[in-house]
Structure 1
Amino acid sequence: MASYFTAEQIDELKNAAEKVFAKAGELKEQYVRHTFRDPKAREHAVTGFARRIDSLAHCIEAVFGALPPDLEGIPERTALVEASVNIQAFVINAAGCCDNLAWTWALEIGATQPDGVPLLQRQIGLTSECQHLWRTIPEPLRRLLTERRPWFKHIKGFRDSLAHRIPLYIPPYTVSPDNIDEYNRLEKENWDALIAGDVALHESLLQQQEKLKRFLPFIVHSYDDNSPNAVFHAQLLADFHTVEELGQLFLAEFDALSGS
């Protein structure tokens, strides 16, 4: 059974994944070495964002190790569980990176409500809904954050479902709609053979069923028709690069604040 990806796509995914640790390490070091004026801002930047960006790299490595993009056939359950757990950790930390950047910015500039009262937790974020903090972000960065609104919606949707509703899940296999009737027929005959004690026929029917299965590298959180899903190898890399981009842009603004 061939891999879901083409040979060219497999090379692109593997090459991109191999560069993640170096990129994460460089960005982490830049945040650790930056001199923040506010101690709590530094905490969010270093023990928050920098630690999380490192975690994202480890999650990607674990997922690509458990379920490599050139995988052929149906993966073992242990590999599915390991990849699922690391994708869940990735989503939580990717969303957390955004929160840490927002908190770092708010604390470093001393952002407050118009009456001087400190911002509440719900007023700190990287979207325009957090209007008091949004007005303090330089216009070029606000434009980019506006362009990334679909991504913020994507990561928040996955994070909220994971934390409050249905955990992210990798289906162990799928069956083409063209083969569903045949698969169900074999399933019924399989049980009939098992009940009749015909082990040889039972095993033969199982083998025929296995040939109709195919693994697709998708992550979902519900089988509801309206629930989003994603090809997780590519999505993890895209999400990492978006977080890295945000980290670099905010770092430039932190440098500007400190005059470095």
Structure 2
Amino acid sequence: MYYTPEQQDDLAHAYISAHSELSELMLECLRQADTTDVAASKEHLCHGAARRIGVMSRAMQRIFSLFPPDSDRPLSMDSLHDVQINLHAFVINVFGVFENFAWAFVHRHNLLPAIGRPVNVSMFKDATRQHLPIAVEDYLSSDRITRWHAEYLKNYRDALAHQIPLYIPPKTMTKDEGERFNALEAEKWGLAGRADWDRINAISAEQDAIGSPCFTFLHSLEEGAASRPLRLHPQVISDSNTVIDFGRRFLASWHEHRQ
């Protein structure tokens, strides 16, 4: 499904804004690292969160460059793989930046003895969240962020890391286009062993020209609603804005903690 011209304009403006604000958040991580003498906190802000935000920014840039929202033809398989590589990098670092913020906080306030095992260090686990400033905890426990983490971020990150990697279908086809594509595929298989390369190449070229670009991604084809197709460009922008929004709130108050 194509984006409308109005949606393309909105995505272009939102991309420019998110890209700029990610750069500012990366710098704020470095500035805040200078406010503590705890080496482990510095490392998680400078070499953890800031580095991940930089990768996110670049991955978003490459996704929009390789696969602009105004694309009207399906991508080549090489280009599609490059988009998926950047999507994988983006999603895994969205997940990871929250972990780096959690570790920076725990180390700064020497909370690991109170939290217990390292596995309990997470912005999305009560053992850590009970020590966060109220404003940060309220943000994380809001319905929007709770659903975003449970239904999307953890789900898609776990699939990427442990199960079925995130996947952008190569194209969408109408019923007539699908029938023509399948007819050509059957003809191509019928030519197997006959070495009629001119006809085989012609069939492949016609198949490549059939269909429209697919602007969604998912993981497993077997998990139903747990792997619902998501719009690629809006999701990348939305995730960026969530990291920006949370990062600002966290860094504004991470010097505080609840006993």
Fold match, TM over 0.5?
yes
Give 1:195 shift.
6.7
User: Where does residue 248 of structure 1 map in the other structure?
Assistant: 248
Contact preservation (8 Å) 2:177, 2:211: no
User: Where does residue 140 of structure 1 map in the other structure?
Assistant: 135
Give 1:117 shift.
5.5
1:57-206 alignment to 2 at 5 Å? 57-112=57-112, 116=113, 119-127=116-124, 130-147=125-142, 148-153=145-150, 154-177=152-175, 179-192=177-190
Contact preservation (8 Å) 2:133, 2:256: no
Matched to 2:41, the amino acid is A
* Paired residue secondary structure (2:168): coil
* Paired residue secondary structure (2:254): helix
Deviations 1:115-162 (A, max 9, x none): x456322111112xx222221123332221112011112111111111
Deviations 1:192-214 (A, max 9, x none): 46777777776676566556422
Structure 1, unpaired ranges of 5+: none
Contact preservation (8 Å) 2:135, 2:249: no
User: Where does residue 30 of structure 2 map in the other structure?
Assistant: 32
**Alpha-carbon distance in 1 for matches of 2:102, 2:229:** 27
* Paired residue secondary structure (1:90): helix
Structure 1 length normalisation: TM-score? Answer: 0.85
* Paired residue secondary structure (2:42): helix
Give 1:12 shift.
1.1
* Paired residue secondary structure (1:170): coil
List structure 1 runs of 4+ shifted beyond 4 angstroms: 193-212
**Alpha-carbon distance in 2 for matches of 1:214, 1:142:** 43
Matched to 2:44, the amino acid is H
Q: Name the stretch that deviates more: 20-29 or 243-252.
A: 20-29
Contact preservation (8 Å) 1:88, 1:162: yes
Give 1:232 shift.
1.1
**Alpha-carbon distance in 2 for matches of 1:77, 1:189:** 22
User: Where does residue 10 of structure 2 map in the other structure?
Assistant: 12
Q: Across the two proteins, how many residue pairs are aligned to each other? A: 250
**Alpha-carbon distance in 1 for matches of 2:76, 2:179:** 25
User: Where does residue 44 of structure 2 map in the other structure?
Assistant: 44
Q: Identical aligned pairs, as a percentage?
A: 28
Q: Structure 2 vs 1, CA of residues 206 and 47 (structure 1 numbering), >3 Å: closer, same or farther? A: closer
Q: Structure 2 vs 1, CA of residues 178 and 188 (structure 1 numbering), >3 Å: closer, same or farther? A: same
Higher relative CO (Cα under 8 Å, sequence separation at least 6) belongs to: 2
**Alpha-carbon distance in 1 for matches of 2:127, 2:207:** 58
Structure 2, unpaired ranges of 5+: none
Deviations 1:36-68 (A, max 9, x none): 242211211121111111111100001111111
User: Where does residue 211 of structure 2 map in the other structure?
Assistant: 213
* Paired residue secondary structure (2:217): strand
Contact preservation (8 Å) 1:191, 1:202: no
Q: Name the stretch that deviates more: 147-156 or 248-257.
A: 248-257
**Alpha-carbon distance in 1 for matches of 2:195, 2:26:** 61
**Alpha-carbon distance in 2 for matches of 1:197, 1:61:** 43
